[in-house]
Structure 1
Amino acid sequence: MKRVFLFKDVSDDGRDCCAYIANEPMRFECGHYFGSVNLEGSCYSGSDWKPYCDIKTVLTEAEYRALKKFSKEISKLGYGITVGDERYEKGVQLCKDIQYVYDRLNSEDNEKLFEEIQKEEVEWLMEEYSLDEEDIEAIFNEYALEYRDRSIVGCVFKDTAELGYEEAWELGYIKNGDTIAEKYFDTDRFGEDLLEESHYIQLEDGRVVSLNY
């Protein structure tokens, strides 16, 4: 499902400050219910709506309120809907009535805003993890989803050995202070093998970035 940028919470400098939604309102799911507006990012799904005064978005306050209202109304229709019945026709009308807001989110104006947001996020990532522009380009080129913000970077390891050690410890293969396990478990080889998975990328300087999906 293609997603579009909805807003950035400028009051929060945390990981999940950017929100995205599906790019169209008409989503009749599993043949019996309408999908509501689900705010999501690379690390979360179903976040709360933020106050308009705290966000940066292409939408006007009235459009933002209309989108929130649409989400509530479409959810109220519930499940077990049959194509052509009264609830289905009401859902179709709700989707038609809110289309203008989705057109705004799919507009060039929102693309330009999203480009500005990405620049802000790139600056944050570069400062937070000591990355350069080539590193950022490699990360964004590798990342497969529409998210383009700080949240896609989970962690930056100094090399494959550190990646292997941290992941092996997290999985319970080794324990801190266990000299036998640390002596015989090849963390470097384990880290190299992990690079074959889609959510890791190795940078030119040998560091390894884990990607959030």
Structure 2
Amino acid sequence: MTKLVKNQLLKYLYNLKSFGFEYHEPLDFFSTELKNIKLPNNLIELKNSVDHCYLCELSKCRKNVLFGYGNFNSKVMFISDEPTKTEDELASYYVGKTGELLAKMIENVLNIKKEEIYITTLVKCKSLNGATNSNMDVCNDYLLKQIELIKPKLIVALGEKTYTYLFKNSDNFSQIRGKELSFNGISLLPTFSPTFLLRNPSFKKDAYYDMLKIKNFMEALN
């Protein structure tokens, strides 16, 4: 079945559902049976699986799947909440105002090329009105598998939404931001997202100091 046919079938089924039809028994996407499906132990094969994922409604509104980008052997992994509209349209990271700002933060403060960092998102498809926790839950196994395969020494959580989902709590982000935490045995540092910084430029100085901490962490690894 081609991608076009799958999209047409999915659209047709959702249309039926909107009219009140029940065309199958409700599926529990988070059942033990589905959660234990073995994912590929290879990033290329995992990307192919994600590219053909239709497990949630975000597959209806996406233009492209944004799996991840950068060095597979990177010691640092950046995670944001979801692809931006521009990233979705161009099928590329580091585009648009937010992407350009993040690229500058990496290259001007960390003094490395953005391609040396591995970057991904909680969900791999752009939403229309903000990704929900249920969307993130569907994508979570993909994310955890990416982390397992990349094996980063440091994860940088970009934004409050990303931090809150990963840690499943509602701590005051302003007090947690910039502190080194532990996520599944991996060091994690939460900082502001580029989207937030564009709307609140007065916080760029704090983000700069967070990036210096990341730089010091990376230098200590060498």
TM-score, normalization by structure 2: 0.22
Q: Which is strand-richer, 1 or 2? A: 1
Q: Which is helix-richer, 1 or 2? A: 2
Instruction: Give the greater-gyration-radius structure (CA).
Output: 1
Structure having greater relative contact order (Cα 8 Å, sep ≥ 6):
2
